[in-house]
Amino acid sequence: MRRFPLQNSAPRKPASASTQYRDEIEVTFTATDQSRKETNQQRSVIQPVQSEHSDESKHESVSAIKAVTEADNQYRNADPLLMMIETTNLTQGKIQAAQNEDEEAGQMLQYIEQNTLPQDKKKADVIVRESNHYVVSSGILFHHYYPRGKGHLSDRVIKQLVVPKSLHNDVLLSYHDAIIAAHPGIDRTYHNIRMKYYWKRMYSDIEDYVKTCIECQQGKTNPHSKKSTLTAASGNWSI
């Protein structure tokens, strides 16, 4: 079999702007011992060029994207309190007690539940101003986060569990050091935690934690790496 580019036998005219771009069609002629004239009279068989990606590979790509999307949606819709109980082995009672004992979380709880404010006017003003972003459910304090996007705020709100200072390391350990976490960088760790939990100065705390991680330093990983993908731990986090 010999391959030749398909060419027009008529004399060529000067190419105009509209005809300068043309597709090259690959054709295959059957090679025989006949004369050139007989060979030229044979019908050419146009063989379509196979797509670079087969239907099977396309299907696998679509399935992979769908699986990642479903995992992300599952994580986004998971209840943060149940997730913390699952990933840190803490009980709801311990989390609630830690919130009440925490200065910032405890004062916000007292204001929402009992309408009580601290004597310090500056602290009291901050609590009143920020209270619209908090809600209490079954004695547990949650924060509402509104990521940027289209649509009504109620459709974009993310319910975050308020993590008291005494439990920060429990969350950081489960989202950075745990086997399923695989030591992601600062930005990825921050993104994953922020989707479920809240505390003030979170990014700064995560940055310090990742930069001082011994395993990350030994592995010489980039603390700002975004290569790690979100992997939701197994568990039933829906209420």
* Listed range (45-54, 196-205, 213-222) with the worst mean pLDDT: 45-54
Q: Which residue(s) pair with 136 in the sheet?
A: 141
Q: Which pLDDT score is estimated for 159?
A: 94
Number of helices and strands (H, E) in the chain?
A: 11, 7
Tell me the residue type at 110: Q
**Separation of CA 128 from chain center:** 34
Residue 70: burial class (beta carbons within 10 Å; 0-12, 13-18, 19+): exposed
DSSP readout, 170-202? HHHIIIIISTTT----HHHHHHHHHTTEE-TTH
How buried is 136 (Cβ within 10 angstroms: 0-12 exposed, 13-18 middle, 19+ buried)? middle
| pLDDT-derived band at 44, boundaries 50, 70, 90 | very low
| Residue 111 · residue 120 · CB < 8 Å | no
Instruction: Compute the average pLDDT of residues 73-83.
Output: 81
The per-residue pLDDT for 115 is 96
Cα separation, 105 vs 103, in Å, equals 6
Higher-pLDDT residue of 188 and 37 is 188
CATH classification code of 78-219: 1.10.340.70
Q: Where are the domains of the chain?
A: 78-219
Structure tokens belonging to residue 46: 């146009």
User: Tell me, what's the pLDDT at 72?
Assistant: 60
Q: Specify the pLDDT at position 4.
A: 46
The HSE-up count of residue 121 (CA atoms within 13 Å, CB side) is 0
Helix or strand or coil: residue 237? coil
204-216 average pLDDT score: 92
pLDDT above 70 for 62: no
Tokens 């399935």 sit on residue: 63
Of residues 133, 91, 79, 90, the one with CA closest to residue 108: 133
Report pLDDT digits (tens) over 158-183: 999 999 999 999 999 999 987 666 88
